[in-house]
Structure 1
Amino acid sequence: MFGRLMPTEGKFFDLFNQHAELCVKGAREMVALMSNFDDLENRVHAIEGVEKQADKITYATVDLLHKTFITPLDRDDIHKLITRMDDILDLLEDAAQTVSLYDLHAVTPEAKRLAELVLACAEKVKEAVGMLHNMDNSRQIVAVCEEIDRLESDADHVMRAAMSKLFRDEPDVRHLIKMKAIYEILETVTDRCEDVANIIEGIIVENA
């Protein structure tokens, strides 16, 4: 009787989907920022705004977790998933603010490529999260997670090549330091996307 009076699944999957959509939106803004510095300030503000929206969804998810008696997934998995998704946008905000702080007016093709890989990862995160409500999708979800792993490996290769080129060819030490920081942040975003994929794969193992 008591259990029937308590909230059950709530809107966890809706919240996951909303957050994943913001991850994609933030990543698109990052690609646009890396491609055109004419509107840098507005791009940075846009990414900061997306990150704040995502924070509200994260808080709402955690709050709902505390209020829900029966959850559709393991409580720890819900918390880990929304937290790692939030890390994606936190890092995108860090990257945008770092570009602004360092007063960069152009970036290397490798930085642009890393931003594109971030977007590709974010789109795959959204795709995987969008299927998570139905464990009949488990095979497709695992395939998407494997694609995220591949994209993260691509980002590793791009960063290693970019670092090698930077230390070999860049004569300006200040610019070298700035670009190194941007490379590392963007590559770490793909790491966090891979973390999300790993969490989702764990959820599939537990529930499918």
Structure 2
Amino acid sequence: MNSIFNFFTPKDKLFQPLFEQAGSNLVSIAGALVSAVNTPGQEQRKAHVKEIEKLEQAGDDITHAIFLGLGKTFITPFDREDIHALASSIDDIADYIYAAGMNLDLYNVKTINKAMISLAELLLEMCTDLHNAIKELRSFRNTDLIAEVCLRINAGEGRADYICNTEVASLFDHERDAIELIKQKEVLQMMETASDKCDDAANVLETILIKNG
């Protein structure tokens, strides 16, 4: 019945292109965070943080366009609540990556530790996986890839928890500057929360997959 319904449903020219733009934007913002944490100088780092800010605003515009489309479109490619949930979770990822980048800059974090670099690189992997899975929603022909991505992201979220918690524990053991400890802890936890939001997005993809498989 699903295949028959899809045959008679008009081709989606709104939501899928917007979701693919949102996915591409996520990869870019995560890439900018990787660049930021790999730039030792605070002044040089500001350029990457500015890029993060610009990309987060672009993501907001895409999310707004999706929500507007929901209000104007009668027939959608998949359930309306899933469209809303996927758009919201993608927006949340960008928001927390933005928060991590802004905290690096505003708090004048002196030390970029290995855990920050690892978390940023892990977020880039997760966002790239999400983008690849989102592209498959256009046809649902490669559902195995979507399922594999969801599993990888779930595992990545667990790795992010471990990296963050281990580093925070180490900070309490070794960092003697209490203010610097708080700054680094805040950045680490923003990155870890971004990974949680990646897992939320993967959960929405799994729901869409089950309903449309």
Q: Give a deviation string over 1:11-62, Cα, whole Å, max 9, x none.
A: 1111000001010100000010001043122111110100111111111111
Hey, what does 1:181 align to over in structure 2? 186
Asked whether 1:114 is paired with 2:119, we answer yes
The residue aligned with 2:195 is 190
User: How many pairs does the alignment contain?
Assistant: 202
User: Is the 1:34–1:115 contact (alpha carbons within 8 Å) kept by the matching residues of 2?
Assistant: yes
What TM-score do the two structures reach when normalised by structure 2? 0.91
CA distance in 2 between counterparts of 1:73 and 1:134 reads 12
Q: Does 1:18 align with 2:21?
A: yes
Aligned residue identity for 1:34? V
SS at match of 1:135: coil
Conserved in 2, the CA contact under 8 Å of 1:110 and 1:162?
yes
The alpha-carbon deviation at position 64 of structure 1 amounts to 1.0
1:199 paired residue number: 204
Give 3-state SS (helix, strand or coil) of 1:36's partner: coil
Q: CA RMSD in A?
A: 1.2
- Which one of 48, 65, 70 corresponds to residue 53 of structure 2? 48
Deviations 1:56-113 (CA, angstroms, capped at 9, x unpaired):
1111111111111110100000011011101111111111111111112331111111
Partners of 1:117 and 1:151 within 8 A in 2: yes
Partners of 2:29 and 2:135 in 1: CA distance? 18
Tell me what 1:28 maps to: 31
Name segments (4+ residues, structure 1) moved above 6 Å. Answer: none
1:100 paired to 2:105: yes
Aligned partner of 1:130 in structure 2 is 135
Q: 1:131 to 1:8 in 2, by over 3 A?
A: closer
Report the TM-score when normalising by structure 1.
0.93
Can you give the 5+ residue segments of structure 1 that lack an aligned partner in the other structure? 1-6
* C-alpha contact (below 8 Å) 1:34/1:106 kept by paired residues: no
Percentage identity across paired residues of the two chains:
34
Q: Which runs of 5+ in 2 are unaligned?
A: 1-9
Equivalent residue, structure 1, for 2:7: none
Letter in 2 for 1:58: T
